[in-house]
């Protein structure tokens, strides 16, 4: 009996290490080592300056870099504007339809990303019904296009990452005690002020998470630009893909990858500092 | 009485369910007014209608003489202390308390002055910088109180505010609430299902049941002079015996209980000889003797409870009777199985209109389960 009591308190000192070991090994093998290999590649072959790839990344592809962040930022803002009201309605007003609506938000994931983007290519295509309809209504000039435009790419990014915005916002709204809204109204706030002073601040962790989950993959995306854009909408992701797979300029491709990663990291750090979510939880 | 809140034949239903039926009463300035009743009796709905979260289907609600029946909560000068406090988790204690005045656009120096003043009233001035999550239940309770009181409302509405606290803290907070109410001299409208809480703090109590106000009175009136069987049974322990009125003469009446004629106060409703009635008498008013005039009953058990011996007897007609035998009467030997005579002063017994209520409604024996799992 004393033995069992002891067994409960005497812990195996190796237990925590054993628990994290598989994850650590995984990260070492599939994240850290490839990253180091990539870093090695980025400083170029023998005979050229180590910064050659990086120099070319900025001089030759600076505009693609800027465009990537501009498109990703715009897509994030659009996803937020579309996603927040939707998440709000699902969390507070949907009643019994809540699970159905959540299911619909997740539904696109049952089809792959690539197929869905191809579907948009068909919808927005020059011979498609949408262009025809808009042309008939004179909302689009003749010879006007939807496909291969900036807005097609931004729209595609917004569409593809919208669920990643909606779900975290929904979760943070769902956690908010409804009585807090009543309390705010009791304390002289109308519905809008109650939202601004209570609901919105309490949902910021969700907005924060959703924005990161949208912005980061969107900044590195190449499918949307490739399928829905023209060379004028080419994003950095496409350049990297091309350099790795077609041109086979590995040092440049690796350098571009590092530049993208670094800038995303810096932006995320700034964003975290600005929103300061650790105090909200 | 200077009325602050007046309910004028207020009705409220949710679908087929009648939540409040013909609530009609006024609450005076500076009064500590409780609405007491079991869950589902309409007390919280009534409070929410005064707060503005629900609108009455019929009748009017007047606040300081003005009809506010259709006024939204944020334009009513009443404030609520919510059941689970509903403090804003992302704001410090000071910002929580300052929330109301800031919404009302009170100048910031005045806001700060009032917040400091209220934090002193609730004795939490040293914790102003904390977040609600870093406070104990009792402290959160006091912050909720300060957040409402800082607006100097016409009336403060409290919805089972002590329900989430443990017994000891609850008793301390009852005294604290009463102190604060005297200190700020604001009308408190207090909703509770706990009779002890209502008796301890209230100036007047409205006892509610199934959407109706059964009786309004001071704690003494409610306890000593209940007007319905429900009130008699809900407050404290009551013996409720079926009786037949033999005759009424002025303030007194004679009734027949278990085959014995006993003297009582006159019935609370107009009833003549031959009418069925329920006789109510509190256990501590019963005298137990081995012989003499009175109702005969057989002793089933006697339990020593410290201040009193709790004797459970069965009358000739099968009714259970509880008697609390005080120290001065404990010379009577209490032997289970033996027959005793129960008697009482005429003014200790009341005749009530009979209802289907069971003979004994002893609230003190029942665990208060209403609070569990309401979140």
Residues of chain B with Cβ-Cβ distance to A193 below 8 Å are 103
Residues of chain A with Cβ-Cβ distance to B87 below 8 Å are 183
Chain B contact for A179, CB < 8 A? Answer: yes
Which tokens go with B314? 């069965």
Distance from CA of A270 to the nearest CA of B (A): 22
Asked if the Cβ–Cβ distance from A183 to B51 is below 8 Å, we say no
Instruction: Tell me which of B192, B224, B256 is where a domain ends.
Output: B224
Which tokens go with A32? 């850290």
Which tokens go with A12? 């195996």
* Among candidates B53, B73, B88 on the partner chain, residue whose Cβ is nearest the Cβ of A180: B88
User: pLDDT-derived band of residue A144, with 50, 70 and 90 as boundaries?
Assistant: confident
Q: Residue A3 domain-assigned?
A: no
List all residues 6 or more positions away from A92 whose beta carbon is below 8 Å from its beta carbon.
A173, A178
In the predicted model, what is the mean pLDDT of residues A179-190?
95
- Nearest Cα residue in chain A from B144: A183
Region of residue B15 (left: phi > 0; alpha: psi -120 to 50; beta: else):
left
Q: Which is it for the CA torsion B88, B93, B99, B102, positive or negative?
A: negative
Instruction: Tell me which of B193, B224, B255 is where a domain ends.
Output: B224
Which tokens go with B16? 């087929």
Residues of chain B with Cβ-Cβ distance to A277 below 8 Å are none
Chain B contact for A201, CB < 8 A? Answer: yes
Domain limits at B166? 3-224
Which of A3-7, A89-93, A202-206, B47-51 is least confident? A3-7
Q: Residue B369 domain-assigned?
A: no
The reported pLDDT for the residue numbered A1 is 42
List strands edge to edge, sheet with B287-289: B287-289, B339-343, B295-304, B308-315, B320-326
Asked if the Cβ–Cβ distance from B104 to A188 is below 8 Å, we say yes
The reported pLDDT for the residue numbered A47 is 81
Whichever domain contains B81, its CATH number is 3.40.50.300
Tell how far CA A48 is from the center of its chain: 36
List all residues 6 or more positions away from B96 whose beta carbon is below 8 Å from its beta carbon.
B87, B88, B132, B143, B147
* Among candidates B52, B80, B86 on the partner chain, residue whose Cβ is nearest the Cβ of A180: B86
In the predicted model, what is the mean pLDDT of residues A201-214?
93
Considering the domain architecture, whether residues B217 and B256 belong to the same structural domain is answered as no
The reported pLDDT for the residue numbered A90 is 95
Q: What is the number of structural domains in chain B?
A: 2
Considering the domain architecture, whether residues B126 and B15 belong to the same structural domain is answered as yes
Q: SS3 letters for A202-251? A: HHHHHHHHHHHHHHHHHHHCCHHHHHHCCHHHCCHHHHHHHHHHHHCCHH
Q: Which whole-number Å values give the CA distances from B81 to A154, B89, B177, B179, in the listed order?
A: 48, 16, 12, 16
Q: What is the number of structural domains in chain A?
A: 1
Asked if the Cβ–Cβ distance from A182 to B103 is below 8 Å, we say no
Asked if the Cβ–Cβ distance from A187 to B86 is below 8 Å, we say no
- Nearest Cα residue in chain A from B86: A180
Which of A30-44, A62-76, A177-191, B261-275 is least confident? B261-275
* Among candidates B88, B90, B103 on the partner chain, residue whose Cβ is nearest the Cβ of A188: B103
Q: Residue A87 domain-assigned?
A: yes
Separation CA A55–CA A43 (nearest Å) = 11
Q: Residue A129 domain-assigned?
A: yes
Separation CA B218–CA B223 (nearest Å) = 9
Separation CA A71–CA A78 (nearest Å) = 10
Note the pLDDT tens digit of each residue in B34-82: 999 999 899 999 999 999 999 999 999 999 999 999 999 999 999 999 9
Q: Which whole-number Å values give the CA distances from B3 to A162, B6, B157, in the listed order?
A: 56, 7, 15
Given a cut of 70, whether residue A192 has pLDDT beyond it is: yes
Per-run averaged pLDDT (10 residues), chain B, 375 residues: 91 94 94 94 95 95 94 94 93 96 95 94 91 92 94 94 85 89 92 92 95 95 93 92 90 89 85 87 91 90 88 90 83 85 91 65 40 35
- The complex's ipTM works out to 0.80
H-helix or E-strand spanning residue B28: strand B17-28
- Nearest Cα residue in chain B from A281: B90
H-helix or E-strand spanning residue B91: none
Q: Considering only residues 73 to 102 of chain B, which have any Cβ-Cβ distance to chain A shorter than 8 Å?
A: 73-75, 79-80, 82, 84, 86-90, 99-100
Q: Which of B88, B111, B157 to mutate to test the interface with A (most CBs of A within 10 A)?
A: B88
Q: Residue B375 domain-assigned?
A: no
Using alpha carbons, select from A118, A52, A17 the residue that is nearest to residue A254.
A52
């Amino acid at each position: 009996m004393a033995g069992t009591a002891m067994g409960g308190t005497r812990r195996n000192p190796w237990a925590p290490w054993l628990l994290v070991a598989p994850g650590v090994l995984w990260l070492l093998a599939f994240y850290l080592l490839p990253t180091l290999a990539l870093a090695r590649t980025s400083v170029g072959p023998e005979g050229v300056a180590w910064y050659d790839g990086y120099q070319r990344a900025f001089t030759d592809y600076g505009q693609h870099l800027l465009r990537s962040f501009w498109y990703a930022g715009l897509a994030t803002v659009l996803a937020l504007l579309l996603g927040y009201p939707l998440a709000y309605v699902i969390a507070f007003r949907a009643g019994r339809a809540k699970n159905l609506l959540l299911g619909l938000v997740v539904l696109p994931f049952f089809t792959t990303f690539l197929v869905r983007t191809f579907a948009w290519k068909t919808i927005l295509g020059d011979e498609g019904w949408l262009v025809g309809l808009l042309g008939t209504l004179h909302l689009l000039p003749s010879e006007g296009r939807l496909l291969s435009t900036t807005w097609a790419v931004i729209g595609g990014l917004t569409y593809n990452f919208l669920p990643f915005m909606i779900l975290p916002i929904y979760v943070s709204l769902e956690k908010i005690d409804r009585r807090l809204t009543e309390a705010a109204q009791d304390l002289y706030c109308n519905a809008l002020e109650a939202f601004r002073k209570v609901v919105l601040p309490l949902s910021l962790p969700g907005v924060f998470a959703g924005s990161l989950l949208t912005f980061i993959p969107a900044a590195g995306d190449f499918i949307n630009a490739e399928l829905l854009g023209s060379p004028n909408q080419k994003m950095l992701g496409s350049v990297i893909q091309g350099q790795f797979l077609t041109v086979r300029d590995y040092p440049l491709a690796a350098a571009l990858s590092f530049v993208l990663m670094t800038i995303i990291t810096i932006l995320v750090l700034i964003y975290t500092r600005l929103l300061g979510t650790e105090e909200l939880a | 009485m200077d009325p602050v809140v007046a309910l004028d034949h207020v009705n409220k239903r949710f679908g087929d369910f009648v939540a409040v039926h013909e609530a009609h009463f006024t609450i005076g300035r500076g009064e500590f007014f409780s609405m007491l009743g079991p869950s589902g009796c309409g007390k919280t709905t009534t409070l929410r209608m005064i707060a503005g979260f629900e609108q009455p289907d019929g009748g009017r609600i007047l606040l300081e003489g003005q009809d506010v029946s259709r006024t939204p909560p944020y334009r009513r000068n009443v404030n609520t202390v919510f059941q689970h406090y509903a403090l804003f988790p992302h704001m410090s204690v000071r910002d929580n308390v300052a929330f109301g005045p800031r919404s009302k656009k009170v100048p910031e120096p005045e806001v700060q002055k009032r917040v400091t003043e209220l934090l002193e009233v609730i004795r939490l001035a040293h914790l102003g910088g904390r977040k609600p999550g870093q406070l104990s239940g009792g402290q959160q309770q006091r912050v909720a109180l300060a957040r409402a009181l800082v607006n100097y409302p016409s009336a403060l509405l409290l919805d089972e505010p002590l329900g989430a606290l443990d017994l000891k803290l609850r008793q301390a907070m009852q005294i604290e609430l009463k102190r604060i109410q005297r200190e700020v001299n604001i009308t408190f409208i207090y909703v509770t299902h706990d009779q002890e809480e209502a008796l301890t703090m209230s100036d007047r109590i409205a006892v509610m049941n199934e959407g109706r106000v059964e009786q309004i009175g001071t704690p003494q009136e409610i306890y000593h002079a209940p007007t319905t069987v429900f009130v008699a049974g809900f407050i404290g322990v009551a013996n409720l015996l079926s009786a037949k009125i033999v005759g009424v003469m002025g303030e007194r009446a004679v009734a027949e209980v278990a085959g014995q004629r006993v003297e009582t106060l006159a019935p609370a409703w107009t009833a003549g000889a031959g009418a069925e009635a329920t006789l109510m008498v509190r256990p501590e008013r019963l005298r137990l003797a081995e012989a003499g005039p009175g109702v005969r009953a057989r002793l089933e058990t006697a339990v020593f409870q410290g201040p009193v011996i709790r004797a459970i007897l069965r009358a000739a007609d099968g009714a259970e009777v509880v008697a609390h035998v005080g120290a001065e009467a404990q010379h009577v030997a209490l032997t289970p199985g033996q027959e005793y005579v129960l008697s009482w002063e005429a003014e200790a017994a009341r005749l009530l209109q009979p209802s289907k209520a069971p003979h004994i409604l002893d609230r003190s024996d029942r665990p208060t389960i209403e609070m569990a799992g309401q979140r």
